[in-house]
Amino acid sequence: MATPSHHQNPTPSTKKKKTHKNPEANFLYELNSCSKSKDLKAAISLYDSALSNNTRLNQSHFNTLLYLCSTFATDPDSKDLALRYGFRVFDHMMALNIHPNEASITSIARLSAAKGDGDYAFEMVKKLGDYQVLPRLRTYEPALFCFCQKLEAEKAYEVEEDIDKMGLSLEEPQIAALLKLSADTWRGERVYNYLHNLRRSVRWVSEETCKVLEDWFCCKASEIGSDVGSVKEAILRNGGGWHGLGWIGEGKWVVKKGNVEPNGRCCCCGEQLDCVDIDDVETEKFALSVAGLALEREVKANFREFQDWLEKYADYEAIVDGANIGLYQQNFAEGGFSVLQLDAVIKEMYTRSGNKWPLVILHNKRVRALLENPSHRKLVEEWMANGVLYTTPHGSNDDWYWLYATVKLRCLLVTNDEMRDHIFELLGSSFFLKWKERFDIHF
């Protein structure tokens, strides 16, 4: 370590020595500033001088150079230089036996795609396996987009399969590219599947994706669809609007932009739309994950008992988060739990559903307190007599109970909270957002 006096008065010789001693660090520092200022030419001349000085280069040096080259690979003025040096740098790195990482491969794949060589880009992604490195979605993008652009459909689908095998999910840009490719090559079955993929994972499509869809339905879509009978049967079997049997109907498609009313009616044609965003398999999986988390946190026997009970009396259409409704906008300072407010919701749900009682989940501490109060007692007993109430046991968190019941029975949930974050973070599921959109009623 330098002493303070050293630090204040560095002799010219030590300063010079320091620069000379660590040319690698120096080189990286200068390279990074080229990268920041996006100066490709300066970076290349640095590289050239490092070569003539025999500077020992490492993975960071190569990655910085590769990244810079790849960002210029689509720039008309610098493309040639970027490609020439990009591949040279990569070959140099491989010759030194320095292992590429995901960033190096993404850069070289981008360079290959810029050259129009999707095959090499894809080969590079596969090479990552040799180094036990996992690719990311961005690593695949150059190969995928390159194949899509050149209408090399089979190769693009192969990249898609590989992405899937890696457990990665396509996002809108990739789905849209595959959709366009499939439309341009007249593969109706594929278009149909990508449409459903958009529905499942994207939900809101961009203007560009809309154009692809319009183009398909205006100019290319086939006129013959599945027969209506088998579609109806499939819808019944799946418990919803989803049938998965392909296009229905005959004649030319009418393409219009319009809105959907809150009740699900189409503003353009007045038809009632089916809800197809929640399918049975997904829902069952979600119910299982809720149960799994609940069983980890709740007394197992209690929660199992609830599951069995639900199985037996599974005839509800709505679940009421009792504590939440009873306490909503009550003055907490006075400890207010409004039995009348909760009762009003229960009766409202009863009438709305054509005389079916909802299920109210309430903690036993709360129920006991209500029963001890003579002015509430009658109402609570009435709920019990009507089979409205499920009392969760001592020490339980009733959130798990209403959540599980709602998902398991595909019920509507009546609550006021923006649903409680601590639970929903645990579920960490995009499925939950869809589900919430569909089943959450605010009182």
Among 28, 81, 266, 310, binds Zn ion (CB under 5 A): 266
- Residue 225 vs 393, nearer CB to Zn ion: 225
Q: Give me the least distance between CB of 317 and Zn ion, in Å please.
A: 28
d(CA 224, CA 222): 6
- The DSSP secondary-structure symbol of 298 reads S
Q: Give me the least distance between CB of 249 and Zn ion, in Å please.
A: 12
Q: Give me the least distance between CB of 260 and Zn ion, in Å please.
A: 8
Q: Give me the least distance between CB of 271 and Zn ion, in Å please.
A: 5
Q: Give me the least distance between CB of 259 and Zn ion, in Å please.
A: 10
Centre a 10 Å sphere on the Cβ of residue 34 and count the other Cβ atoms it contains: 20
Residue 106: phi and psi, rounded to 5, are -60, -40
Q: Which residues pair with 392 in a beta bridge?
A: 363
In angstroms, the Cα distances linking 176 to 135, 190, 195 are 21, 12, 9
Judged by CB under 5 A, the chain residues 57 through 96 that form the site for Zn ion are none
Cα torsion 218, 221, 222, 227: sign: negative
- Residue 268 vs 384, nearer CB to Zn ion: 268
Closest alpha carbon to 105 in 89, 84, 88, 90:
90
- Residue 259 vs 351, nearer CB to Zn ion: 259
- Closest residue to Zn ion, judged by C-beta, is 266
Judged by CB under 5 A, the chain residues 154 through 193 that form the site for Zn ion are none
Rg for the chain (alpha carbons), in Å? 31
124 in Cβ contact with 107 (< 8 Å) = no
Q: Give me the least distance between CB of 195 and Zn ion, in Å please.
A: 16
- Residue 267 vs 314, nearer CB to Zn ion: 267
Among 134, 269, 314, 433, binds Zn ion (CB under 5 A): 269
62 in Cβ contact with 98 (< 8 Å) = yes
Among 228, 268, 299, 340, binds Zn ion (CB under 5 A): 268
Q: Give me the least distance between CB of 273 and Zn ion, in Å please.
A: 8
Q: Which stretch binds Zn ion (CB under 5 A): 8-16, 125-133, 268-276, 391-399?
A: 268-276
User: By CB under 5 A, how many residues form the interface with Zn ion?
Assistant: 3
Per-residue contact flags (x/-) with Zn ion for residues 213 to 252, judged by CB under 5 A: ----------------------------------------
> Does position 195 bind Zn ion by CB under 5 A?
no
Judged by CB under 5 A, the chain residues 95 through 114 that form the site for Zn ion are none
Q: Which stretch binds Zn ion (CB under 5 A): 69-77, 174-182, 259-267, 392-400?
A: 259-267
With both helix axes pointing from N to C terminus, report the angle between 430-439 and 280-297 in degrees, rounded to the nearest 10: 100
- Residue 274 vs 280, nearer CB to Zn ion: 274
Q: Give me the least distance between CB of 265 and Zn ion, in Å please.
A: 9
DSSP 358-426: PEEEEEHHHHHHHHHSHHHHHHHHHHHHTT-EEEEPTT--HHHHHHHHHHHTT-EEEE-SSPPHHHHHH
In angstroms, the Cα distances linking 296 to 68, 284, 304, 362, 391 are 49, 18, 12, 21, 20
Q: Which strands make up the sheet holding 412-415, listed edge to edge?
A: 389-392, 359-363, 318-321, 412-415, 440-442
Residues that bind Zn ion (CB under 5 A): 266, 268-269
